[in-house]
Amino acid sequence: MWAMSAVGYRRLGAAGSAAAAAGGWAAGTLPTRDPWGIWVPHGPGVTVAATVLAYLGLTLLVVAWWGYGRAGSSVRHTLVTLGWWAAPMLLAPPLFSADVYSYIAQGAMVLEGHDVYGAGPSVLDPGGVGGDAAASVGGHWTDTPAPYGPVFLVLAQAVTLATGGTMVPAVLGMRLIAVAALALIVWALRRLARDRGEDGERGALWLGALNPLLLMHVVGGMHNDGLMIALMLAGVVLARRGRWVAGSALVGLAMMVKSPAAVALLFIGVIVGRAAAGRPAVHRVVKGLVGPGLVAGAVAAGATLLAGTGFGWLRTQSVAGTIHTALSVTSDLGLLLGELLHALLGTDPDPVKTAVQRLGLAAALAVIAYLAWRSARGRPSPVHALGLALVALVVLSPMVQPWYLLWGTTVVAATAWDGRAGRVLAVLSAALVYETAPSGATPWYGFALAAVVGAAGTVLVRRSATARPDRTRVPAPRRAERHGARTP
């Protein structure tokens, strides 16, 4: 089989990243208005050519990432490779999403005293601070209240204040936050995987940080999911070290970026309960279930009061679920069933869709509770169970975007990057990175490319599994430890 050295894959990936970023200058998610005249639309011919270049670069990056994971390298080499692959995106326009414009516009709303949880960016003065960002926000998000917590909104406010809302510096300011989140993810992954040795750290970085889905959507697209993941992972690191109060506080901050981080509190509770072995069962259960939640709740309340944005985030958490995305299994099933009943009985399809979405969330909560119960009994480990729980939440959510897969993937990377779950998530990461175009649109051919890459990745994984044991897999004792044979 054709293969290169780790250095060769590093160079191939850097070339792919550079090509994807270069294509983004003409085919990326360009602002509607850029006073500096740097990120401006081009003719259709240039745009099509740039889109092809971006997809070509993305393919090179995916191939390089896949090969790099099997080439064998050191942790230091992997970190340098991460720098090579992320660098071309640092000055590029937004890639694969227009969400960063919503962030800047919402920061301007906070700055000007608007109720960011009661109105959308359309309330901003087109000629004022944040006006250019509001004009660039994707259609259905223009009048949508913010679903994000006050910690992130304060950061967006600070960027808007420092840059005056001017497009290029404001976007680059948000990218600084995304790069800082990536650095914190790297720090946390290394510490969560440290008990698995050099191979474990390298593999965790490969799946959790070097992942093209993360590079394109956190560094390139600047999604705040990166910051949520970073704070959540850092909180889990502290909890494993016995500092569960500080860890729960960090998870509280992560919740004030995006609410799904709250799932981590349950598994920090498992860590706390397992660490209290020998104490009465009631004491362990109460401390594990109540303690982390109280700490995170206090942090959330304090952050909200200090931010001055109000507690409107409590009522806007369901906003995203009103927007249909094709990757949501429950929304697709609900829509199909609703339309079928409408055709047969003439009933309104919307209540049916809503009911199926709620059943999906209820099923997700049941799976999360089951994983926590199993983990509390000794297997799998709380960290691994957290990763699986976040994956289940994404699969059963009423709205699913490709980068949501990173919630659980980054956690599983630290515990089972070379296991079955890690292999499945690696294939899905490689496939879903194609689903969104550089312009932020979701064209039909994106789904077709994702299907092809997913099928190819599945074949490669099966062949490598049946051919011979992977040299990068960790020894059996460590695999047993990972699934709960040792306490955190």
pLDDT one-digit tens code per residue, 218-261: 999 999 999 999 999 999 999 999 999 999 999 999 999 999 99
342 Cβ partners below 8 Å, 6+ apart?
348, 349
State residue 409's pLDDT score.
97
113-127, 193-207, 464-478: range with lowest mean pLDDT: 464-478
pLDDT band at 477 (very low <50, low <70, confident <90, very high): very low
* Average pLDDT of the segment spanning 263-276: 89
CA–CA gap between residue 434 and residue 168 (Å, rounded): 26
Task: Say whether pLDDT at 89 is over 70.
Answer: yes
State residue 413's pLDDT score.
97
CA–CA gap between residue 82 and residue 209 (Å, rounded): 8
* Average pLDDT of the segment spanning 24-50: 91
Percentage above 70 pLDDT, the chain: 92
State residue 73's pLDDT score.
87
Task: Say whether pLDDT at 119 is over 80.
Answer: yes
The string of pLDDT tens digits covering residues 422-464 is 999 999 999 999 999 999 888 999 999 999 999 999 998 888 7
State residue 323's pLDDT score.
75
345 vs 429, which has greater pLDDT?
Answer: 429
The string of pLDDT tens digits covering residues 354-400 is 899 999 999 999 999 999 999 988 889 999 999 999 999 999 999 99
State residue 467's pLDDT score.
62
State residue 473's pLDDT score.
42
* Average pLDDT of the segment spanning 16-25: 96
Task: Say whether pLDDT at 144 is over 50.
Answer: yes
Task: Say whether pLDDT at 486 is over 50.
Answer: no
* Closest by Cα among 133, 106, 107 to 120: 106
Take residue 400 and report the two structure tokens written for it. Answer: 């699913």
Task: Say whether pLDDT at 4 is over 90.
Answer: no
State residue 318's pLDDT score.
74
128-142, 184-198, 225-239, 273-287: range with lowest mean pLDDT: 273-287
The string of pLDDT tens digits covering residues 205-218 is 999 999 999 999 99
Task: Say whether pLDDT at 471 is over 50.
Answer: no
Sequence length of the chain is: 488
* Average pLDDT of the segment spanning 463-484: 48
95-104, 153-162, 324-333, 478-487: range with lowest mean pLDDT: 478-487
pLDDT band at 315 (very low <50, low <70, confident <90, very high): confident
CA trace torsion 105, 107, 112, 115 (10° rounding): 90
Task: Say whether pLDDT at 482 is over 80.
Answer: no
pLDDT band at 1 (very low <50, low <70, confident <90, very high): very low
State residue 2's pLDDT score.
57
288 vs 176, which has greater pLDDT?
Answer: 176
Q: Is the peptide bond before 349 cis (omega within 30 degrees of 0)?
A: no
Percentage above 90 pLDDT, the chain: 74
Average pLDDT, the chain: 90
Task: Say whether pLDDT at 472 is over 50.
Answer: no
266-270, 468-472, 474-478: range with lowest mean pLDDT: 474-478
